[in-house]
Amino acid sequence: MFPLDFFLFLQIIIFLFITPGTPRIVIISYSMNYGVRNCIWTALGDITANFIQATLVIFVIGSFFSDHPLFLNSFKWIGIIYLCYLAYDIYKTKPKDISSKIFSSKSFFSFFKDGFLVAGTSPKAWMFFPFIFPQFIDFSGNYVVQFFILISTYMLLDFLSLVGYAVLANKLILWIKANPRVINSISACVLIIIAIIIAVTQQY
């Protein structure tokens, strides 16, 4: 892997992470409802799922998804169902006062699980790693080291971008304090729209 390859890889994932996809929509809503600290667990769940996905598709299952589209399709529908559940959960959540000392009824594991499942059931993620990562790995060299450089960079930037979204959303809570349910309604609607788009447009 040459420096230019790594630079191109950085450009791709930075553009990917600044785009507000499903994990970032969840992070924004969670930050406004539960605070930045709890969102760290959601972000950790996200990057843990990404690490498992990348490792499996590069070293274990390889072209399995390409040869068995029904398997990938099952992930799509699991993800759609879970997005709908999250939309409902976010919509019915009563936004809390971030400055209060009241602890959230959700456990750290629950935040971690939500991040893990949102990322882990994403068909785009399962297709991203086998299609993008091999383009930047020289398999004639020590590809294991190259892989860990790429995935470590990916996870670090993903985590930082998720926490960044959480911090920005937490600051916005002061701006929308007069009508706090607006962001929950918007976030829930966006998740439902994303689920519908995935169901209609992503065919495997």
User: Is residue 159 one of the residues assigned to a domain?
Assistant: yes
* Separation of alpha carbons 134 and 104, rounded Å: 42
Look at residue 98 in the predicted model and tell me its pLDDT.
45
Residue 148 lies in a domain: yes
* H runs (alpha helix) in the chain: 3-18, 22-34, 36-55, 64-67, 69-92, 108-120, 123-132, 143-172, 181-201
> Region 102-109: what's the mean pLDDT?
70
Give the residue from 67, 53, 173, 201 showing the smallest Cα distance to 118: 53
Domain membership flag for residue 16: no
**Residue 33 within any structural domain of the chain:** yes
- Structural domain includes residue 13: no
The token duo for 145 is 């080291």
As a dihedral over the C-alpha atoms of residue 89, residue 85, residue 87, residue 154, rounded to 10 degrees, the angle is: 110
> Cα–Cα distance between 106 and 184 in angstroms, integer?
16
Total structural domains in the chain? 1
The count of other CB atoms within 10 Å of the CB of residue 52 is: 13
The pLDDT mean for the chain works out to: 79
Most confident of 38-42, 121-125, 180-184: 38-42
Q: Is residue 14 part of a domain?
A: no
Q: Model confidence over 162-171: pLDDT tens digits?
A: 999 999 888 7
Q: What is the pLDDT of residues 6-18, one digit of tens each?
A: 888 888 888 878 7
pLDDT at 27 > cutoff 70: yes
Say how many Å lie between the first and final Cα of the chain, rounded: 31
Q: How far apart are the C-alpha atoms of 196 and 178, rounded to whole Å?
A: 31
Determine, yes or no, domain membership for 77. Answer: yes
Range of the domain at 79: 24-96+104-201
Is position 37 within any domain?
A: yes
